Structure 1
């Protein structure tokens, strides 16, 4: 009965999240302050519900809920909602908040309506360690940073195209300036790279300490190092002046797609990775 109640509450939370996106979209099209307030308060309610569920799960399991793909998706979505609220309160940037919530809604939906067996993970019972928890935490933080770089890169491309074609309307007034978008994707890039690097280092340490025969030639590990290399090359190209304006933005959009592919497909193809 308790499980059924929790499932219904998660579904209600997802519905509230969807409604908030509708109001965000209305606000974006019409610059409707009332719709904007409703959307923000609905997202705030979603965040409170997520935080309560997160707290209850931690209390029940006596551990941080990041040890499976199912749990990691939920924590990732919670971080996205948290950052969207902070951006709204501190910087008053509306469109980045909207896009972050779209991504968060996608992952909340995946978590809510995925088959129950995805939650089964041998890690929770056999290989819990502080090193593993820190490794996964840094990995999720890097995904959040790269999500931000993707959002700002997309907004940069939209704004650049609008200005180039001289099709500026009131719907575009919520966009950040080109300079703000570029600084946003650069800051997110600079944050995500060290987070991912630290995650990979700790993950390798955990792997060598936990397995008698540990190989780095695993699909998830290789994919993660490729992703890190791509982002490092993007940063290097930007600092050297070889990547600029739209090319700089497009490379981060493509890099984020590689991150998403590695997040799901790499885990599926991994021979040992416990987020399967």
Structure 2
């Protein structure tokens, strides 16, 4: 494990530098600094990918089981999605805001053990479970981007209402585009989360003797899915003011974070 730890440490260092350069660009709209920040972010993605592949080779399972592994993978998903969005849509502020979250998540993983405290059984690492967790992390990534689009929408709405014609306002996409992007991200996230929950229930039904449907994370995961599904329904029917839709979206993401960090209480949803 120690022989690849330098990749993880270098990733943290370069990620911090990239976020700082993006912050400088955010304050001063410096295109040269922006290009440097983006170049560093590409290197960060490559290092994260190399570290993840090395972990997969050294361990006997796809590493998304422990909290360290899950946070690292979530950070990798955010970096990957932000690079893809930048390639197709060129929204620099989205890359900046997304990687603030990605960097914070990666820093959190620094304080956690890299390997499970107890041996990971073959039952625990079944393909159903690993697919369940992987889909959940990709849906979380989509919901993260959706939340950022909604936050940018609310910020721009407030600035327009207060007539604050700042350089930041000119860098934000239109309200219509921001609302549309948030909708698209939720359209990706909801089916992935639904499939993740279904696969998780199938796996639990096969290997768990306990009444897993009453587990706190299962219940809250269903509430998160219902919250985002309701959001999509209201967006499709166009029966809620757009500003309130974006507020709902931000609150739904807060519920998702609570579900991720605060409900690891059962024998099969415990990180330890």
TM > 0.5? yes
Query: Corresponding residue for 2:104?
Result: 106
Asked if the contact 2:152–2:172 (Cα under 8 Å) also holds between the matched residues in 1, the reply is yes
Shift of 1:240: 2.5
- Correspondent of 1:91 among 67, 85, 89: 89
Shift of 1:84: 1.1
The answer for unaligned runs of 5 or more in structure 1 is none
Query: Corresponding residue for 2:156?
Result: 159
CA RMSD of aligned residues (A): 1.8
Query: Corresponding residue for 2:218?
Result: 221
Query: Corresponding residue for 1:272?
Result: 268
Shift of 1:200: 0.7
Query: Corresponding residue for 1:249?
Result: 246
Distance 1:203 1:275 in 2: 16
Shift of 1:121: 5.5
Per the alignment, in what secondary structure is the counterpart of residue 213 of structure 2?
coil
User: TM-score scaled to structure 1, two decimals?
Assistant: 0.92
1:19-98 equivalent positions in 2, closer than 5 A: 19-98=17-96
Query: Corresponding residue for 1:143?
Result: 140
Per the alignment, in what secondary structure is the counterpart of residue 173 of structure 1?
helix
- Correspondent of 2:234 among 230, 233, 237: 237
Shift of 1:31: 1.6
66-75 or 222-231, which deviates more:
66-75
1:128 aligns with 2:122: no
Distance 2:120 2:233 in 1: 37
163-172 or 252-261, which deviates more:
163-172
Query: Corresponding residue for 1:190?
Result: 187
The answer for unaligned runs of 5 or more in structure 2 is none
Shift of 1:82: 0.9
User: TM-score scaled to structure 2, two decimals?
Assistant: 0.94
